[in-house]
Every structure is written in structure tokens, then in C-alpha cells.
Amino acid sequence: MFHEVDSSDLAFRMAAKGAFISNWDKLGGQITEPYMNIEVDLPGEFENSVQQTLVDRMCQIEDVERDNKKCVIKAYGPLDQMFGYITSLRSATQGKGEFTMEYRDHQNVLGWKQDELIEKYKSSNMGRSRDGNSL
């Protein structure tokens, strides 16, 4: 409902924020993150080391296609773990590997990671109201 005198953008934002905060714990809220489909093209001689770089970044290997001296690894994993991956890939393949990513879906973050994100939020200024009280 909208009323010209009482309604404002700020009032609606504060109401939404209050509703979210008061219901988060009751509803068992989950933080999600984007997961990406990853395809890595590389010379076959580097297959094992490249698979390890993906596993180290919490990726799941779905398929490996081998053709003569070439290898294509298909995997999926969290986007935040893939930042800077090109450097790891180049190191593992002597600069001969390439990869592409495309959005797959959103999945719940792991429990320990969600706890870490919530604590980080609470300790930041974003988790406090203007009077300094925790929201």
C-alpha cells in the first residue's frame, strides 16, 4: 500500500530490512553463491596437475575427454574460488592451458563459510544501525 505522506523509498527499504532480519533465524536462512561450469582445454601431459588445481579450489570434476595429445576437463565450482585461476592454470601448464566459465546455478555455501560470512557482517558497520546497536 502506498500513501503520499507516509510512504518513501527509505521507509520501504527500512521495513524490508527489518522484516528480513527478524525472520532470518526463524526461517533457517541460507546464504547462496554462484556456481560456474568450467571447461579447461590443455595438453594431456598436464592433466593431473590441472585436476589438482581445480580440486584445490573446491571444484567437482564431471568429465575428462582425451583426444590424442589434448585433454578437456569439465568441472563446476564456486565462482569466488575461481578468481585468479588463470595464473594457476598457466603455471600448471607452462602457459598452454585455457579455460572458460559460464553460470550454472546458485548453491548454498558450506556451513563453516556461512558462519564466517555472518560473523564478518556482524563485525562490520553494515551489521549495525545508526545508533551503533546490532541489527
What lies within 8 Å, CB to CB, of 8 at 6+ separation is none
Asked whether residue 60 is domain-assigned, the answer is yes
Asked whether residue 59 is domain-assigned, the answer is yes
Asked whether residue 120 is domain-assigned, the answer is no
Asked whether residue 67 is domain-assigned, the answer is yes
Asked whether residue 15 is domain-assigned, the answer is no
Domain span at residue 50 reads: 36-108
Residue type, 8: S
CATH number, domain of 101, equals 3.30.70.240
Asked whether residue 61 is domain-assigned, the answer is yes
* pLDDT tens digits for range 34-71: 999 999 999 999 999 999 999 999 999 999 999 989 99
Domain total for the chain? 1
Q: To the nearest whole percent, how much of the chain has pLDDT over 90?
A: 55
pTM listed for this prediction: 0.71
Grade residue 128 by pLDDT with cuts at 50, 70 and 90. Answer: low
Asked whether residue 53 is domain-assigned, the answer is yes
Asked whether residue 21 is domain-assigned, the answer is no
* pLDDT tens digits for range 86-110: 999 999 999 999 999 999 999 999 8
Other CB atoms within 10 A of residue 23 CB? 10
